[in-house]
Amino acid sequence: MNQSTPNLHGLLTWLTGITHPVHKPLLVSTFFRFINLTLDIVLFGLAGGGVAAIITGTTAWPVFLWLVIVALVKASAYYLEQLTGHYVAFKALELLRTEVFSSLWPKAPAIVTHAKSGDILASLTRDVDRIEVVYAHTFAPVVSAFVVPPAVIVATGATVGWGTVLVPALCVALSLLAVPFIGFRSSMRATRQTLQLRRALSHHISDSVFGTEEVVGYGREADRLAQMDQLSDKVSASSLPPKRANAARRSANAMLMLFSLIGITAVNVAAGHSLVITAALAAGSLRLFEGPRGVEDAVGYLDYSLAAAHRLWEISHAPAAVSDGPAVYTNSKPPTITFEDVSYSYAAGGQDATNAPFALSHLSFTVPAGTRTVLVGPSGSGKSTTLQLLLRYDDPGSGRILLDGVDIREFTLDSLRHAVVVVSQKNQLLDTSIRDNVTLGAPAATDAQIAAALRAVHLDQEIAAMPQGLDTPVGMNGSGLSGGQVQRLCVARALLMEPKVLVLDEFTANLNPALEKSIRADIAAALPDVTIVEVTHRIESAMDADAVIELEHGHEVAHGVPREILANYV
């Protein structure tokens, strides 16, 4: 973290700085909340008085006329409150998510590799939602609770008599100033613990789902389910204190409302007020506590919102793992790649640390310019980490990675990643057309260049057969295409960028051997001088490589010609 987490004032200053465009609409929504809550009390008072007037035989039609008028005005105020409130809520969501995403974008993809599964998505969704609650369901209810009930009590006392409102005033004061603090600290502590446990449970479920093959392969289904049950039990136990505190606050407010009703009724009867007035004041006093109930609900939201705000602040202000170097990579020829005594640990954020497990440890090798080198080894051997460091998703804790003898940290990220292009097994496509996706890295590509790239990956005829051709939407994450078509489209995108280094990470996983062999030949023809670094589990695909490097536990255990290294894999 580049700076310490701020105190409450600093956190609120940061949040309000982001959401200042909604502050005026929020005040408008709060104003209509004032009207709505005030007329709610009046409406109940009129209804109670009207019923009493009918019982006593008093003329009731003026009361019911006012009842209709107040109901119409209240309905209008409620509609306008909801309209402005929802605008504030959705606009606040937009502002918060845009701000957090814009702060994350320059730090990608390193920030994702260091975060636990689901962390970033959870912060951009659930955490932002919890903060939005402050704007949608907290500010206006809390402010109106401290304004409307006291104002109504003062107005009633000045009109009917101060003795009449003494008990309700005391009850409302307790409801606003004492009840919200029942169990507040214990609830805050328990909520922070609950959120951490829920996060752990979410990570556990995500890891189990995405690692289903490994879980089943090693027979760990029962263990994973048992661990999930244990986490679920801890979440349930941790969430009990806030629920108990909320129940205590709800009960206290209900008791205070009852005391207020009894008190105002007793005082009016003792003072000899008419049944109509007594019933009106008693019924109206029931709604005095609608405001304090909003405070009660807000306190229940507050701990979640503050915890979420702290997490968003930490993610937004986390330092970038890598930064631009001073030079632009302009080499027009394929480079020689050198890993020079490279060590790397995920647990230490790339840096060496005592007892931190190393993904790579003192790794050294050279890939000559214009050759194809394949990395092999079991899962967890460091193959993908090697590729990620070459792309500078993160920097090694020690050692250097060189292109033609120059440390890649000397280059700007944009120029480096335009020269070193990756095609992986898990490729990402935007929910737009085939044309937009294939030209994502080379937006100025001509139709002839696009056609040549698609022809090289054997997609040209398949796309031509589609009704919309290149304008065909690929769907969310490429759902409109087959797995093989998605992979080939991503290869075509890489070819259009004319890279100097082509990084291939299991890019043929969804292709049959015959098609893979043909595409490899076409890639070699399209990029005759490119330096290729590849990870593959298909041994037959590595047999025609210039060299094979075998990794195990982050170490190089063999380096040589394919037939010698791969003999143990056949």
In CATH, what number does 337-569 get? 3.40.50.300
The answer on pLDDT for 230 being more than 90 is yes
- Whole-angstrom distance, CA of residue 404 vs CA of residue 370: 12
| pLDDT tens track for 92-105 | 889 988 888 888 88
pLDDT score recorded for residue 243:
85
CA–CA dist 495, 489 (Å, integer): 10
**Residues 420-436, buried b or exposed e (16+ Cβ, 10 A)?**
bbbbbbebebeeebbbb
Classify residue 165 as exposed, middle or buried by CB count within 10 Å of its CB (0-12, 13-18, 19+).
buried
267-275: long-range contacts, CB 8 A cutoff, minimum separation 24: 267/163, 267/164, 267/166, 267/167, 268/164, 271/161, 271/163, 271/164, 273/160, 273/164, 274/56, 275/52, 275/55, 275/56
pLDDT surpasses 80 at 110: no
pLDDT digits (tens, 9 = 90+) for 10-19: 888 888 899 9
Give the CA diameter of the chain: 108
Domain boundaries, the chain: 8-194+243-317, 337-569
Examine residue 109 and say whether the peptide bond preceding it is cis (omega within 30 degrees of 0). yes
pLDDT at 66: 92
**Percent of the chain scoring above 90 in pLDDT:** 39
On the CB side of 63, CA atoms within 13 Å amount to: 20
Quote the pLDDT of residue 351. 46
- What's the pLDDT band for 569 if we cut at 50, 70, 90? low
Class assignment of domain 8-194+243-317?
Answer: mainly alpha
Instruction: Write down the pTM of the prediction.
Output: 0.70
Residue 534, CB-side half-sphere exposure with 13 Å CA sphere: 25
232 or 184, greater pLDDT: 232
**Mean of the per-residue pLDDT values of the chain:** 86
Please give the pLDDT value at position 421. Answer: 92
Consecutive H or E run containing 338: strand 337-344
Top mean-pLDDT range of 54-63, 73-82, 215-224, 425-434:
73-82
**Residues 268-273, mean pLDDT to the nearest whole number:** 90
Estimate the crossing angle of helix 290-317 against helix 139-160, to 10 degrees.
Answer: 150
